[in-house]
Structure 1
Amino acid sequence: MAMDATLQIRIDSALKEQVEALYRSMGTSFAEAVRIFAQQSLREGGMPFRPSLKTWEDMSEHEISERLLQSESDIAANRICSQRDLDDKIKGLLNNRDGNL
């Protein structure tokens, strides 16, 4: 896929530095993470996660149990993956990109 478009966003500089450091520690970049987010959004037909203002402390045991069951279902249906699988996918993408230079 040709990368022929530019996306510009405005965020807080402290947030940008923290996110860049996070993705750098994972061996990737903020820009690559945004591309992965966009691709996963298309696969999911929306955000690749459920936005929520609730924290675990705000939820009942039943709600937490329901979310855990949904997560297990999502994993079984390959809608989400483990951090290790994601890391492997990112490394593969980076290796393919580096090999195509």
Structure 2
Amino acid sequence: MAKRVEIDRPLSPDNAVLYGQIVGLELAILECNQLGIDVERVDYTDWRRPCLIVKANAVTQQMLRQGKAFNYGSRVKNGIRVYLNHAIINGVKIKWESSDYRH
């Protein structure tokens, strides 16, 4: 078992911001797990607000139908139009792709 290390100094402002983002991601992943949404990866494209990329399933379809999630665009992938969707869970944006705009 690893020896516990005590931190002698407080987090710097930059480290505190990053730590807060990581804790937010952790809580959002736990909430996604409770809802039955599988997380594929974390997207750090916007470094100020990382988001979660999730797999589309019946839960994400239901979120779209209930107005808890929204379509924000589309693109063509291998000759097929793919719709881009997002929702906010615990203050973290989750994104996924679906083949149907309306679900």
Q: TM-score, normalised by structure 2?
A: 0.28
Q: Which has the higher strand share?
A: 2
Higher helix fraction: Structure 1 or Structure 2? 1
TM-score normalised by length of structure 1: 0.28
